[in-house]
Structure 1
Amino acid sequence: MSEIETRFIEGFADTRLAVHCTGDASGRPLVLLHGLFSSAYVNWIKYGHADLLAAAGFRLYMPDLRAHGESEAPHDPRAYPEDVLVADLKATIAELELKDYDLGGFSLGSRTSARGVLAGLKPRRLVLAGMGLSGLAGWARRSAHFIDAIDRFGSIERGDPAFIAQAFMKTMKIDREAARLLLGSVDDTAPEALGAITMPTLCVCGGDDRDNGSAPELAQTLPDARYVETPGNHMSSVTFKEMGRAIAQFLAE
């Protein structure tokens, strides 16, 4: 495993955010965001994607989103305004002084990356992993599922649709009060707004992953996108190196 350096920056409302870095300092900058209830370590480092991308010549910057991983999880509702994750992403890129960079994410990280571009960020290339068209536009339904899992935490039995979310929160030791506030800060992205995402985009998704709708449909909607299928479902796709390889190949073009 490549050496990981962790630095801390200030996001919105002075929230302390952890950014995990690896790869040669002279490599091409790549910012990668993880998914809900996960962390940079689980999505990008644990299963070898960071090593693979560093070996391909990239300098990786992998933030832990607020209320996740080693970043702070404030309980003040004022720390979770609309699109706070986009504000944090912008603060991260400004603090790192990145001008020419690539950007990507998985699930919630994809949603944040897309909204970051719509809010003015201009990466050279964009990666949206574990995301489909309805996942960008239908956040209210997804959010309600996770809020239900938070509210019934500890009482959800195997076979219940919320059981996997409960188990993942337990494993990741999620601060549920902060996570609930964060869920309320995420906004929908209407399909008609996606025309503004004009840079080359990779929509990469597990073949059995339907949690956020259709990734091929998302690729067809974006002006300059392609779809690549990798193994797994929404929970398992990050465990297969095919996802990292697809990202590396796309970004190297």
Structure 2
Amino acid sequence: MAERPVLSYRRFEPGPSGDGRVTVLLHGFCSDGDADWVRPGTAAALAAAGHTVIVPDLRGHGASPAPAAPAEAHADALARDVLAVLDQAGAREFDIVGYSLGARLAWEVVRQAAGRAGRVVLGGLSPAEPFTAVDPAALHRAVRTGEQPADPFTGMIAGMVAATGERAAGLAMVVEGLRETPFDPATWAGRTPPVLIAGRDDMMVRGIERIVESTAGAQLVMVPGGHIEALTGADFREAVVKVLQR
């Protein structure tokens, strides 16, 4: 069997302070590592604080390969992609920060590698799997032909992926794969409880208190903004650095 392609990623070396512990940053859906972590300054802030920062593009996103089938975009497969990058980077142990889809996948990465994962920050995490409401056939048809789905939510997702141009077909496959492996936050596998960060005006995180209450030791930090504004704001960046410096 051919080896799974390793994701495209960027590495930021640590500044003089800190111990160079590896921190991996996972971006959201229809985005990439540059948009979510590099341009807002989070990767640079963590590197300056002494972290070795790994910023991959998830499968189907940025410069990484698209999935050839939905199974390659199942949540467990996407998590294995991330672990393959960490293996390639020589990270036996790591801290992990994810936002939105990246937070959902960080939960799965920790499940698969609980003994390796240290501190965990989950930003913009939806307590439910939004892609279960998508009609995958209508989504793929919209990407191929431009036909507008009858279902408004599927139509919204189709509009998001279509805006990415040549990445659209791969992103539709990612949606289908995640729909087949929906998020279930019933059990936290990590050695340390996660810190969840949410925007005060973010409708995507409604009900996040349920995860905090059911995950022993979990903390919730609220920052200004909606789903996008929270991620790119200074309060979010400062909260991430503070958590990882404990």
Q: Give the drift of 1:148.
A: 5.6
Q: Deviations over 1:186-242 (max 9, x none)?
A: 222434323x33413110011111214333332222112111111221233222121
Q: Report Cα offsets for 1:123-171 as digits up to 9, x if no partner.
A: 1111111104334xx6513xx17876664455669xx656764554355
CA contact (8 A) 2:136 2:176 kept: no
SS in structure 1 at match of 2:195? strand
Q: Which residue of 2 aligns with 1:177?
A: 169
Matched, 1:125 2:119: yes
Report the equivalent of 1:228: 221
1:245–1:148 distance in 2 versus 1, CA, 3 Å: farther
Relative to structure 1, the CA distance from residue 139 to residue 164 in structure 2 (aligned partners, 3 Å threshold; closer, same or farther) is closer
Structure 1 residue 49: Cα displacement: 1.4
Query: Structure 1 239/149 Cα, relative in aligned 2: closer, same or farther at 3 Å?
Result: farther
Residue in 2 that maps onto 1:24: 14
Task: Output one character per residue of 1:1-29: Cα deviation in whole Å (capped at 9) or x when no partner.
Answer: xxxxxxxxxxx853242111113276221
1:211 aligns to what? 204
Maintained 8 Å contact 1:202/1:225 = yes
Aligned residue among 66, 70, 82 for 1:73 = 66
Cα-Cα RMSD:
2.8
CA distance in structure 2 between the partners assigned to 1:76 and 1:222 by the alignment: 33
TM-score by length of 1: 0.80
Distance in 1 (alpha carbons) for counterparts of 2:205 and 2:87: 30
TM-score (ref. length: structure 2): 0.82
CA gap 1:171/1:23 in 2 versus in 1, 3 angstroms: farther
Superposed, 1:87-102 pairs within 5 Å as 87-102=80-95
SS of the residue corresponding to residue 231 of structure 2 reads: helix
For the 8 Å contact 1:106–1:128, the answer to whether it is kept is: yes
Q: Which runs of 5+ in 2 are unaligned?
A: none
Larger CA deviation: 169-178 vs 28-37:
169-178
Aligned to 1:134: 128
Q: Sequence identity of aligned pairs in percent? A: 24
Aligned length: 235
Q: 2:97 maps to what in 1?
A: 104
1:114 aligns with 2:107: yes
Please identify, of 124-133 and 25-34, the stretch whose mean Cα deviation from structure 2 is larger. Answer: 25-34
The secondary structure found in structure 2 opposite 1:216 is helix
Deviation at 1:53, TM superposition (A): 1.6
Supply the AA of the counterpart residue of 2:182. Answer: D
Q: 1:210–1:233: 8 Å Cα contact kept in structure 2?
A: yes
